[in-house]
């Protein structure tokens, strides 16, 4: 079995596939930097980051005073008109007084958002309690909401731009799928292309073990490819923006403030990557199934890529559709099942796992062999 796996891995890791992986990793990196360089190549952005460095971490009165003083000082200068609009001022963070005023205001409002988060939750609790009182404690959904929300609070501030940009980025899914489809089709059609499939099928190992071995090799290849692209995304966004506040709860991100989940940001990033990995495995299983039934590798590539694009567009891209994974993770969307409220993402994972199991069975099940 080990020798068979080793031989199959050697067939998969063709030089062209490794080059394709390296090229598409480079394309992904280039795409990320080209999409965001205008943001980071800006004096205002760098000045704002310097202000953030002075206040990130636990919110204290000293940090709030720093922001309010800086905002007032620059606002007074702008209102009086006593500042230079043509030449950079080395005493400012952004190079200009007007830029500093806007930067201080943005950071101040962001810190205020974090500081006021608990008050916002308390205001929602008042409404929820009123609903419970009116319904005589029979409003199960309101009781569920109260149990999930009432203890939420934030006490530390970090710049969330990098984390939100990373969580919202889905284009790397397309690049990794291209690698997996090209590598998978090259590997699965290797024996047919070299007219070895007849010989493989008449051997005992070919009949009983090869399908499972090929599925495992494809799964391993897809896992390593997905891991490389995920690590690439994370490192790129960390280099561009910095991904800070990893121990803060995920609801500290503005777009995720009303997320169902309460786990730390680093755990949420892992969960998000695992969900996408399930989709990758579904696509791998689909490729294996198509390769079993279709003699032409080109047709398998076209069909696999078309199905993958549909999965990416409907499930991976951030939009308001009910099937968008990012939208589900951002919201408190739940369904009542057997008197219990289940978040949509758990239903999605369950359906995805059942689909994966079905495709796995179709991929490795024994079939009566017929000579071509």
Least confident piece of the model among 43-47, 100-104, 221-225 = 43-47
Q: How confident is the model at residue 370 (pLDDT cuts 50, 70, 90)?
A: very low
For helices 344-364 and 210-240, give the axis angle rounded to 10 degrees: 140
For residue 202, the model assigns a pLDDT of 52
**Residue 362: what are its φ and ψ, rounded to 5°?**
-65, -30
Span 272-309, pLDDT tens digits: 999 999 999 999 999 999 988 888 889 999 999 999 99
Contacts of 34 (CB under 8 A, 6+ apart): none
For residue 274, the model assigns a pLDDT of 94
Average pLDDT of the residues in 243-251? 94
pLDDT at 224 over 90: yes
* Contact in structure between 224 and 176 (CB atoms under 8 Å): no
For residue 197, the model assigns a pLDDT of 52
Task: Give me the residues paired with residue 298 across strands.
Answer: none
Which residue has 């199934």 as its token pair?
289
Average pLDDT of the residues in 30-53? 88
- The rounded percent of the chain whose pLDDT value lies above 90 is 60
For residue 283, the model assigns a pLDDT of 95
Contacts 24+ apart (CB under 8 A), 191-196: 192/295, 193/297
For residue 117, the model assigns a pLDDT of 94
3-class secondary-structure state, position 370: coil
The pTM (predicted TM-score) of the whole model is 0.88
Q: How confident is the model at residue 372 (pLDDT cuts 50, 70, 90)?
A: very low
* Contact in structure between 63 and 18 (CB atoms under 8 Å): no
Average pLDDT of the residues in 113-119? 94
Span 87-105, pLDDT tens digits: 888 889 998 998 999 999 9
Span 319-361, pLDDT tens digits: 887 788 999 999 888 888 887 889 999 999 999 999 999 999 8
User: For residues 78-87, b (16+ Cβ closer than 10 Å) or e, as one string?
Assistant: beeeeeeeee
CA dihedral over 317, 49, 244, 153, signed as positive or negative: negative
Extract the tokens encoding 178.
Answer: 């291209």
For residue 364, the model assigns a pLDDT of 80
For residue 49, the model assigns a pLDDT of 92
* Contact in structure between 148 and 260 (CB atoms under 8 Å): yes
Span 186-212, pLDDT tens digits: 888 876 655 555 555 555 555 557 778
CA atoms within 13 A on the CB side of 181: 23
Alpha helices, DSSP H, located in the chain: 2-12, 15-40, 43-55, 61-80, 97-115, 117-135, 140-149, 161-168, 171-188, 190-193, 197-202, 204-208, 210-240, 265-293, 297-311, 325-330, 344-364
Span 144-177, pLDDT tens digits: 888 889 889 999 999 999 999 999 999 999 999 9
63, burial (CB in 10 Å: exposed 0-12, middle 13-18, buried 19+): middle
pLDDT at 39 over 90: no
Fill in the DSSP letter of residue 371.
-
Nearest to 215 by CA among 167, 285, 142: 285
Fill in the DSSP letter of residue 348.
H
* Contact in structure between 247 and 236 (CB atoms under 8 Å): no
């Amino acid at each position: 079995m080990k020798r068979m796996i080793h031989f199959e891995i050697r067939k998969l890791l063709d030089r062209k596939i490794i080059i394709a992986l390296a090229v598409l990793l480079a394309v992904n990196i280039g795409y990320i930097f080209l999409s965001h360089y205008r943001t980071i190549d800006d004096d205002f952005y760098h000045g704002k980051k310097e202000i953030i460095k002075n206040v990130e971490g636990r919110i204290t009165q000293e940090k709030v005073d720093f922001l309010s003083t800086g905002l007032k000082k620059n606002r007074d200068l702008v209102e009086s008109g006593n500042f230079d609009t043509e030449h950079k001022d080395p005493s400012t963070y952004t190079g200009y007084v007007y830029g500093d005023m806007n930067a201080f205001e943005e950071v101040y409002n962001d810190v205020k958002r974090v500081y006021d988060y608990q008050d916002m939750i308390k205001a929602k609790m008042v409404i929820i309690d009123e609903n419970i009182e009116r319904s005589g404690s029979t409003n199960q959904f309101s009781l569920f909401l109260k149990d999930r929300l009432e203890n939420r609070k934030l006490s530390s501030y970090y710049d969330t731009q990098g984390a939100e940009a990373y969580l919202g980025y889905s284009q790397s899914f397309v690049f990794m799928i291209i690698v997996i489809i090209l590598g998978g089709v090259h590997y699965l059609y290797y024996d047919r292309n070299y007219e070895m499939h007849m010989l493989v099928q008449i051997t005992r190992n070919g009949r009983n073990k090869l399908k499972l071995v090929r599925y495992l090799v494809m799964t391993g290849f897809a896992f390593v490819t997905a891991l490389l692209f995920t690590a690439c995304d994370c490192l790129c966004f960390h280099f561009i923006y910095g991904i800070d506040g990893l121990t803060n709860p995920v609801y500290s991100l503005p777009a995720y403030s009303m997320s169902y989940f309460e786990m730390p940001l680093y755990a949420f990033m892992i969960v998000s990557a695992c969900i996408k990995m399930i989709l990758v495995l579904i696509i791998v299983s689909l490729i294996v199934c198509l390769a079993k039934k279709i003699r032409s590798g080109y047709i398998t590539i076209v069909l696999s890529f078309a199905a993958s694009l549909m999965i990416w567009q409907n499930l991976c891209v951030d939009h308001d559709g009910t099937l968008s994974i990012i939208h589900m993770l951002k919201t408190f969307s739940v369904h009542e099942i057997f008197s219990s409220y289940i978040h949509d993402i758990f239903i999605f994972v369950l359906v995805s796992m059942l689909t994966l199991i079905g495709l796995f069975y179709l991929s490795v099940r024994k079939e009566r062999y017929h000579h071509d």
